[in-house]
A and B are shown apart, each in its own frame.
Chain A
Amino acid sequence: AIMQGEEVSKPVLQVINTRAIATGNGPPRYRVLMSDGVNTLSSFMLATQLNSLVEEERLSAQCICQVNRFIVNSLKDGRRVVILMDLNVLKTADQVGGNIGNPVPYNEGQGQQRSSAPAANPPPSKPQQQNSNLSVAGPAAPKYHAPSNQFGKASAPSSVKTPGGSQTKVVPIASLNPYQSKWTICARVTQKGQIRTWSNSRGEGKLFSIELVDESGEIRATAFNDQADKFFPLIELNKVYYFTKGNLKTANKQYTAVKNDYEITFTNETSVVPCDDAQHLPSVQFEFVPISDLENTPKDAIVDVIGICKSYEDVTKITVKANNREVSKRNVHLMDTSGKLVTATLWGNEAEQFDGSRQPVIAIKGARVSDFGGRSLSVMSTSTVVINPDSPEAFKLRGWYEFDSEGQLLEGTSISDARGGSASGANTNWKTLFEAKSENLGQGDKADYFSCVGTVVHLRKENCMYQACPSQDCNKKVIDQQNGLYRCEKCDREFPNFKYRMMLLVTIADCLEYQWVTCFQESAEFILGQKANFLGELKEKNEQAFEEVFQNANFNTYEFRIRVKLETYNDESRIKATALEVKPVNYREYSKRLIASIRRNAQLG
């Protein structure tokens, strides 16, 4: 009745949803989807003096309000807008609980509008806050473009000029169904798959799939054979096009996570035309999980992440056993403000074309969490990877990484490196000995690994070597048979010789703590600066020189990579520490870490 221009006094309506529209310079304007129990209509705008109602969440989805004063404006294209000047909230949203009745969209001849939330929000199946979706603040689903100013531009999206000059009406994706054959949608490509070929008993062919999104929803589209050839080079990820005339059929849910009952198949009548006026379309939507939270994410979950690509590995080719095909893969390491690093695996073309120079920000939508090495991510064919996305999160990350001293100097603790023995650049877990002890590292079921800078303060000369089996890979202690032969139980053989193997107990210390560490062959040889065999001989022939080696080794400072584990020996449990690797101190990196640590502690006050 209102739309017909009649005088209605103080109608009582239910708010189905509210949406903020950015106006450039000025307060946001809120557009409201209202229902009277029978119909819904989204052509309601809130007068700016009522903005506080939305901001304080008194006016929110599902609340009931009585409109005291309103004006009806007619737009150039004949549509009517109701401006709400004054209203009372009769019942707040939580008192109401749900939509009253089953209102259907009021059809003004403009095309269908869904009665549920406007499509800029993720589809209803995702858990929604009951509060109004203030897209400006965007707590749950950050959006990259301001939601549409549908009233300002009356021409878009309701009509579009095709190159032929004729006007076609654009419909929302949500309204597509197999019973309508002539339709045009204006949508952004949020995911583009690779061309896949198949060959089976019925023949062979090729296809590629894309995912499209507009404000009303999302839908998957597939192009086969000729259409695949025609459109694959034309259609680009993240760009907006007008898609006209394709086949609609029921979606094959096992192939896709897209929330739509139908999917599109391109036919030879389908046309794809680039759309310039695309500001109102939501871009790829992400819900980022901080990398530190991934540790608690179950295996096989699908998540979105964003991080700085701190380092990346070269692309490698591996052969898939299942179909004997070679596929490229590449590991990249992402870090975010949580200070944690995660390894993400890229496959195929994405792996090959990846350029990680200048440490770009990478956003991944729909990566699968695996429990490889703790927690890692795998990019699937349905995932989307965006490099340096145009989004507030990306800018925030870049700002934190470049300018915040902590971001620059943070080495990052990798959650993908739980079994990592080697300390490789960005993946090391630096601790002081004090931290290692106070954090009770090694007391869990698994061994813990950390790196530290320490000074050798004592070395145990006695029993630092043992006689080991001379076989290549066997280090078992041999038994001296006293007849010139040595027996190895593991190899079940006797040898006329043995090799000296070191097992050196060293005390290392830093400014607060000390720790006994066992050093085997390589580490011990590094610390002592002599080979085990030479030392063995020296011990027998020249005691003094032997002692001197140990004297010289004392009070040197190195970087240690240490493994701590709880070990039980004859009913006694003790924490045992082993030095896996000993290296000279890289003073530059050490200084950087110290400076970062000082600055961090200074901020804590």
Chain B
Amino acid sequence: MVDVHEVPRPRIATGHLAQHIGKPVCFVGRVEKIHPTGKLFVLSDGEGKHTTVELSEPLDEEISGVLEVVGRVTNQATIMCMSYVQFREDKSPFDLELYNEALKIIHEFPDYFPFG
């Protein structure tokens, strides 16, 4: 499997999952629930819709707040996570709704925001 970090990975919201099955993506969302096994967690995007993220290895740390996940979309419209980054919100909160607005524009004007 090609490393998702070496190919372009469009930023998506929950609504775009269906169009990107099998493709590498980048998803930003807020942590809603973590499965007790630590191999699954749920993120909500700027519109409040939920996406499930799976891991090959269980989590080894506590995660909370806003996360950016890079991974591949599975056939069940979940994301197989390859790596993630926690956003620091100590200086100022991350405006997820505004991010969602920006996402809409990116997808609305693909000429100006080409993916790769």
Chain A residues in the interface with B (C-beta under 8 A): 588, 591-592, 595, 598-599, 602
User: Are the CB atoms of A595 and B102 closer together than 8 Å?
Assistant: yes
Does B59 reach chain A (CB closer than 8 Å)?
Answer: no
- Alpha-carbon distance between A595 and B104 when the two chains are bound, in angstroms: 10
Minimum C-beta distance from B42 to chain A (A): 26
State in angstroms the CA–CA spacing of A588 and B108 once bound together.
Answer: 21
Chain B residues positioned under 8 Å from A599 (CB to CB): 105
- 17 CB contacts below 8 A, A to B, read A588-B92, A588-B95, A588-B98, A591-B95, A591-B98, A591-B101, A591-B102, A592-B98, A595-B98, A595-B101, A595-B102, A595-B105, A598-B105, A598-B109, A599-B105, A602-B108, A602-B109
In the complex, what distance in Å separates the CA atom of A599 from the CA atom of B105? 8
A592-B98 Cα distance, complex, nearest whole Å: 7
- Main secondary structure on B side of the interface with A: helix
Rounded to whole Å, the gap between the CB of B100 and the closest CB of chain A is: 10
CB contacts (< 8 Å) of A588 on chain B: these are: 92, 95, 98
- The CA-CA distance from A315 to B35 in the complex, in Å, is 53
- Please give, as numbers and ranges, the residues of chain A lying within 8 Å of B109 by CB-CB distance: 598, 602
Which residue on chain B has the smallest CB distance to residue A596?
Answer: B101
Q: How far, in angstroms, from A453 to B95 measured CA to CA in the complex?
A: 20
Give the nearest-CB partner of A599 in chain B. B105
CA distance A599 to B109 in the complex (A): 11
- Nearest-neighbour CB distance to chain B for A601, whole angstroms, equals 10
Q: Which residues of A contact B105 (CB under 8 A)?
A: 595, 598-599
Which residues does chain B contribute within 8 Å of A591, judged by CB atoms?
95, 98, 101-102
Residues of B within 8 A of A595 (CB): 98, 101-102, 105
Binary per-residue interface labels of chain B (96-116) against chain A in the complex, 1 for a CB within 8 Å, 0 otherwise = 001001100100110000000
| Cα distance, A591 to B97, chains bound together (Å) | 11
**A598, B107: Cα distance in complex, Å:** 13
Chain B residue contacts of A592, Cβ below 8 A: 98
CA distance A599 to B108 in the complex (A): 11
> Which residues of B come within 8 Å of A, CB atoms?
92, 95, 98, 101-102, 105, 108-109
Once the chains are docked, how many angstroms separate the CA of A196 from the CA of B53?
70
A599 to B101, CA, bound (A): 11
- A-B interface, 10 closest residue pairs, ranked by CB to CB distance from nearest: A595-B101, A588-B95, A591-B98, A598-B105, A588-B98, A595-B105, A591-B102, A595-B102, A592-B98, A588-B92
Q: How far is the CB of B47 from chain A (nearest CB, A)?
A: 15
What A residues does B98 contact at CB under 8 A?
588, 591-592, 595
Which residue of B is nearest A592, CB measured? B98
Quote the shortest CB–CB distance from A594 to chain B (angstroms): 8
Besides A591-B101, A595-B101, 5 other CB < 8 A contacts?
A: A588-B95, A588-B98, A591-B95, A602-B108, A602-B109
Q: In the docked arrangement, what's the CA distance between A592 and B99, Å?
A: 10
Smallest beta-carbon distance A135→chain B, Å: 42
A588 CA to B98 CA, complexed, in Å = 8
Complex formed: what's the CA distance from A239 to B98 in Å?
44
Residues of B contacting A602 in the complex (Cβ-Cβ under 8 angstroms): 108-109
* Docked pose: A588 CA to B95 CA in angstroms: 7
Q: Which residue of B lies closest to A595 (CB)?
A: B101
- Measured CA separation A602–B108 after assembly (Å): 10
* Chain A nearest CB, measured from B108 CB (Å): 8
In angstroms, Cα B92 to Cα A602, docked, is 30
Q: Taking CB as reference atom, which chain A residue is nearest B99?
A: A591
Among B95, B98, B101, B108, the one with the most A-chain Cβ atoms within 10 Å of its Cβ is B101
Alpha-carbon distance A494/B41, docked complex (angstroms): 73
Closest to A598 in B: B105
CB distance from A494 to the nearest CB of B (A): 48
Select from chain B the residue with minimum beta-carbon distance to A405: B101
Residues on A with beta carbons closer than 8 Å to the beta carbon of B95: 588, 591
Chain A residues contacting B101 (CB-CB under 8 Å) are 591, 595
Q: Which residue of A lies closest to B108 (CB)?
A: A602
Report the Cα distance A7→B98, complex, angstroms.
75
Nearest opposing residue in chain A for B101, CB measure: A595
What residue in chain A is nearest B112 (Cβ atoms)? A598
Across-interface contacts of A598 in B (CB, < 8 A): 105, 109
Complex Cα–Cα for A591 and B102 (A): 8
CA distance A295 to B41 in the complex (A): 57
- Cα separation A591 to B105 with both chains bound (whole Å): 12
Q: Shortest beta-carbon distance, A590 to chain B, in Å?
A: 10
Q: How far is the CB of B112 from chain A (nearest CB, A)?
A: 9
Q: Determine the chain A residues whose CB is within 8 A of the CB of B102 once the complex forms.
A: 591, 595
C-alpha spacing A64/B83, complex, angstroms: 84
- Complex Cα gap A592–B109 (Å): 17
**How many Å lie between the Cα of A595 and that of B101 in the bound state?**
7
Q: Which residue of B lies closest to A409 (CB)?
A: B101
Least CB separation from A588: chain B residue: B95
Closest chain A CB from B114 CB (angstroms): 16
Smallest Cβ distance from A99 to chain B, in angstroms? 59
Question: In whole angstroms, what is the CA distance A556 to B109 when docked?
Answer: 28
**Whole-angstrom CA separation of A254 from B84 in the bound complex:** 75
Q: How far is the CA of A592 from the CA of B92 in the complex (A)?
A: 16
Minimal beta-carbon separation of A329 from chain B (angstroms)? 34
Nearest residue (CB) in A for B104 is A595
A222 to B47, CA, bound (A): 58
Whole-angstrom distance between the alpha carbons of A592 and B101 in the complex? 9
B92 partner residues in chain A, CB cutoff 8 A: 588
A420 to chain B, nearest CB (A): 26
- Minimum CB–CB distance for A17 against chain B, Å: 52
> A588 to B94, alpha carbons, bound, how many Å?
9
Q: How far is the CB of A406 from chain B (nearest CB, A)?
A: 13
Expressed in whole angstroms, the Cα–Cα distance for A588 and B89 within the complex equals 13
Query: How far in angstroms is the closest Cβ of chain A from B35?
Result: 32
A599 to chain B, nearest CB (A): 8
Quote the shortest CB–CB distance from A250 to chain B (angstroms).
Answer: 63
B95: nearest residue on chain A (CB-CB)? A588
Identify the closest chain B residue to A591 (Cβ): B98
Distance in angstroms between the alpha carbons of A592 and B100 in the assembled complex = 11
Assembled-state Cα–Cα distance A598/B98 (Å): 14
Minimum CB–CB distance from B74 to chain A (whole Å) comes to: 31
A103 to nearest B CB, angstroms? 63
- Chain A residues with CB under 8 Å of B108's CB are 602
Q: How far is the CA of A591 from the CA of B92 in the complex (A)?
A: 15
Bound state CA distance, A250 and B27, in angstroms? 76
Report how far A515 CA is from B99 CA in the complex, Å.
31
Q: How far is the CA of A86 from the CA of B8 in the complex (A)?
A: 76
Bound Cα distance from A36 to B101, whole angstroms: 66
Give Cα A33–Cα B98 distance, bound, in whole angstroms: 58
